[in-house]
Structure 1
């Protein structure tokens, strides 16, 4: 009864903790939305405070792709409170209710824009990593940068029009500005955030230095283009000559660098245009900012292509690396037992001989041969023989240290090489192997046994000499009654 009560209390505490976490998640998402909305509204244009680049659309879509649809309440409340203060009025109850109704439609539109788009991307692309392939990119562009913003604009601008915040004559360009703003926000900030929310392979100090250098150079170039910085003479042209190096960095260092450069350049372009600098500066603000949105979309698509090419390069390199390792294992491992084959055994002995010269520390070689294995093959068949070989290989591997080496020398012969082993330890190792085989049930009528021949390496040994001594010792075991171990050392020590 006490245990049941304690269990119920623990379950209740867990549920309460999860509820608290969910509330904190909603508050955090809503707070992020409102902060991004306030930042975006710094660049708002009339009528009705419509922003040219809606930062929350990109940020929320990245969070929905990374953390799932459970963030939707935070998106709704963030959209509601992030927008209502732009047009709320307390002059009358009707004006206040109209503002609440418009903000509610805005929140619904943003939930559809973000959550539904993220789920459609995840469902059809099979991943939330939007730039893993050409297909996932198309789904991101279709659902995230087009369909989602379209729904948001329909609900958001529709709410403004229905409740009297804009007139019918203003509807079209407000709708286009809203749609383009959401799309620009998605194209600019979603890939950037996802590149940092997901881990990236091989991103170390070199990558960080390259990222900082690429971002700084990109900002310098865009500052020149937007007439924010002026250099004397032909220095501008010299700076532009380094553009191929920027593209080399983009191809070399991956999506995190690419999308950091994209977000940096577009953020700078937005601020510069808002301050009436650069090629998109115009006496008509909303036309100027629509041109900026078109530039942002085109620039983003170009960098998406670069990111896809970089991804393909990375995937191809990973594919080649994987198959190179597989091929290496094929010519270095025995296909039946999974132990190292004769080629790798010879390599390892050479490595041990070199180590012995440096450290003056010998190693042991044990040749293990199954007694009367031909009889097993002749009476039970080769399939049963293969099973026994595989089982014995696993038994040998489990009976030695992790640092020791086990291989198949050929046929029914196996080899074990133990580093830093002296003559005193060798009989113990051999006895352990013999006992492991005796105690193991191979499923045969007659117990399976092995014979072992072993030796210790000495200075001046070669690959052939150390194997030859172990083979001589094995010969002695096979002709001395089997199921035993013999030792052959230099100067005839046994």
Structure 2
């Protein structure tokens, strides 16, 4: 018995270490991807979309609070790849860890469901997980930059806005896609594959045109998002939103298409406004469609059960769980 207990005690730290390293690796990889495309706003480098926040919130929702050390380690590794570990950098790590943790706690408090099958789940992810919780990381990060003398005080609000929207966009775009991964095992029908292939071809042609054309055709992506949400719910709409956001970010950082001849601030404002409205449209519309679909399925199931009960009653069968009483009535008549 002592040997078994000793093995279990050794397994627990080993499993915890593996969880921590796995989450840290995912966070760091997402951070390196996010840093591939950056904007300079008032002398500070910001990312229009910060994927690590989406990774952190998704990991907490799927695996619980035990993964928060991995988030902290991943944030530290990202900061370490950019600068030396100074006190202000450590504070930024704490802020980037506290924001996803607060998002998880608030979402758990309101009964958030990771399948995003209800409109209330989509609204909770938007207003609690993204817009409210990410105020922490933006305020702590930009405030420490000002205190450390790396950012002028007059540039606080502009950089704070870019930081906040970038973190929130990571939650709005990346978190829903990661939460859908457990449902990938389901194999759709062949007709659905054909429609999905057609939609993917249309997206590959339409999205680059809309994001790189000098005619400002960004509005063309919204019919594509509506199509994806109506036919493929969250999976289709969020994948389209992710692809569109990547292409728009590439165009903005290259200063091409609708972002040509704009200042750094104008590029940031236009890109983040477009990404925000697009992600909100995809997430909330798909949540509404999914909720209506689930409601219809529940009603159809209830109607089927009612039909089965009526068949038993019209056939003279006894209701389930109750013994027949015909014999007793016969004895009374005799």
The normalised TM-score by structure 1 is: 0.59
Which of 57, 71, 75 pairs up with 2:71?
Answer: 75
Counterpart in the other structure of 2:230: 251
What do the CA deviations read for 1:204-256 (whole angstroms, capped 9, x no partner)? 554444334323322321211123699xxxxx9xxx7x986873453122211
Distance 1:214 1:43 in 2: 27
Distance 1:102 1:307, change over 3 A: same
- After superposition, the Cα gap between the structure-2 partners of 1:248 and 1:43, relative to the gap in structure 1 and judged at 3 Å, is closer
Q: C-alpha distance in 2, partners of 1:168/1:245?
A: 42
Q: How does 1:59-458 map to 2 (within 5 A)?
A: 59-88=55-84, 99-124=85-110, 126-129=111-114, 131-198=116-183, 203-227=188-212, 247-333=226-312, 336-338=318-320, 373-374=327-328, 378=332
Structure showing greater relative contact order (alpha-carbon pairs closer than 8 Å, 6 or more residues apart): 2
Compute the displacement of 1:203 (Å): 3.8
Q: Give me the whole-angstrom Cα distance separating, in 2, the residues matched to 1:66 and 1:204.
A: 28
Deviation at 1:375, TM superposition (A): 7.2
- CA distance in 1 between counterparts of 2:331 and 2:75 reads 76
Q: 1:62 to 1:203 in 2, by over 3 A?
A: farther
Q: Does the 8 Å contact 1:81/1:103 carry over to 2?
A: no
1:245 and 1:270 map into 2 onto residues whose CA distance is: 18
1:190 and 1:321 map into 2 onto residues whose CA distance is 31
TM-score, normalised relative to structure 2: 0.85
Alignment-derived partner of residue 58 in structure 1: 54
SS at match of 2:133: helix
Higher helix share: 2
Corresponding residue of 1:37: 31
Structure 1: 4+ residue segments shifted above 6 A: none
SS for the counterpart of 1:43 is coil
Deviation of residue 262 (structure 1)? 1.1
Q: For residues 291-345 of structure 1, what are the alpha-carbon distances to aligned partners after superposition, in whole Å with 9 as ceiling and x for unaligned?
A: 1011111111111232123113311221122112212221233574539xxxxxx
Runs (5+) with no aligned partner, structure 2: none
SS in 2 for 1:49: strand
1:273-304 alpha-carbon deviations (Å, 9 max, x no partner): 21222213344224302310111111111112
> Bigger radius of gyration, 1 or 2?
1
Q: Report the number of matched residues.
A: 323
Deviation sequence 1:126-152 (CA, Å, 0-9, x none) = 133273323222221221111111101
